[in-house]
Amino acid sequence: MESSTAPVLSAHQVSKSFADKTILNDIRLAIKPAEIFGLLGPSGSGKTTLVKLLAGIDVPTTGEIRLLGTLLPNRSMLQQIGYMAQSDALYNELTARENMEFFAALYGLKGRRGRDRIAETAELVGLSEHLSKKAWQYSGGMKRRLSLAIALLHEPPVLLLDEPTVGIDPVLRRSIWAELKTLTGKGTTVVLTTHVMDEADKCDRLAMIRDGHILAEGSPEALLEQTGSDQIEDAFIQLGGGNS
């Protein structure tokens, strides 16, 4: 770590195997308060598995994950996390509003506060005019936007977002990134996965992942300098990432 500040989220010698296949190997991370930390790598690199471990949804085969100093998984820490999965966990027969009301109730958001947060997050992701539609009527991109709104509902101190902008148009993607920057300015820590190189440039720090290993970690500027590259994609290839 570059400072004495305790990490918000950490992985210590974390490995994960399924049957005889190793998905993650000796992952070590220390994610700082109020930063956007990106996990950059191609499909199948282990990003989604790592995010599930960081969220306390899954358990590492070896090593440990800690959130705010508490060993995960731990049910008492669920309220501290906003989690957006790669596959949308929505109730298709409910309207978007009903989906949001259901998750708001799970988070303990009731009455006016719950209604206000539903309105605020729906506005952020551009769904205010579509809340009465059933989730099955939504396009893939709209479902991603609804899933993001749900993750933001309870204003958690830590956001874990798995490919949050897949299928989202460029204009809305820009506004979502602006909101993520605003959130970190207010103290929220954001961890997200991406395989999009221009999004990697927007992160405060990155971990480049390939075949379950971290190739390198640091700010985009530091990784460019380390590899003598002009673009993150070139740095990724130089560090052993191959084609993404």
Rounded-to-integer distance, Cα 53 and Cα 116, Å: 31
For residue range 145-154, list pLDDT tens digits in order. Answer: 999 999 999 9
Angle ∠(39,157,65) on CA atoms, nearest 5: 55
Q: Could you tell me if residue 1 is inside a domain?
A: no
Place of tokens 């949308």: 88
CA 204 vs CA 3, 50, 149, 201, 219: distances in Å: 15, 19, 22, 8, 6
For residue range 118-147, list pLDDT tens digits in order. Answer: 999 999 899 999 999 999 999 988 998 999
CA 221 vs CA 17, 203, 224: distances in Å: 33, 10, 5
**pLDDT at position 2:** 45
Q: Residue 70: which CATH number?
A: 3.40.50.300
The amino acid occupying position 47 is K
**Domain membership of residue 56 as a residue range:** 9-241
Q: Could you tell me if residue 4 is inside a domain?
A: no
CA 202 vs CA 91, 93, 178, 232: distances in Å: 32, 36, 10, 11
For residue range 69-105, list pLDDT tens digits in order. Answer: 999 999 889 889 999 988 788 999 999 999 999 999 9
- Provide the whole-model pTM: 0.90
Q: Give all strands of the β-sheet with 189-194 in edge-to-edge order.
A: 81-84, 158-162, 189-194, 36-40, 205-210, 213-218
Question: What's the number of domains the chain is made of?
Answer: 1
Tokens found for residue 42: 């191609």
Q: Provide CB contacts within 8 A for 106, sequence distance 6+.
A: none
Rounded-to-integer distance, Cα 244 and Cα 236, Å: 9
Tokens found for residue 94: 């409910």
Report the chain's mean pLDDT, rounded to a whole number. 91
Q: Could you tell me if residue 25 is inside a domain?
A: yes
Query: Does the pLDDT of residue 1 top 70, yes or no?
Result: no
Rounded-to-integer distance, Cα 50 and Cα 86, Å: 12
The DSSP 8-state label assigned to residue 240 in this structure reads I
For residue range 29-67, list pLDDT tens digits in order. Answer: 999 999 999 999 988 899 999 999 999 999 999 999 999
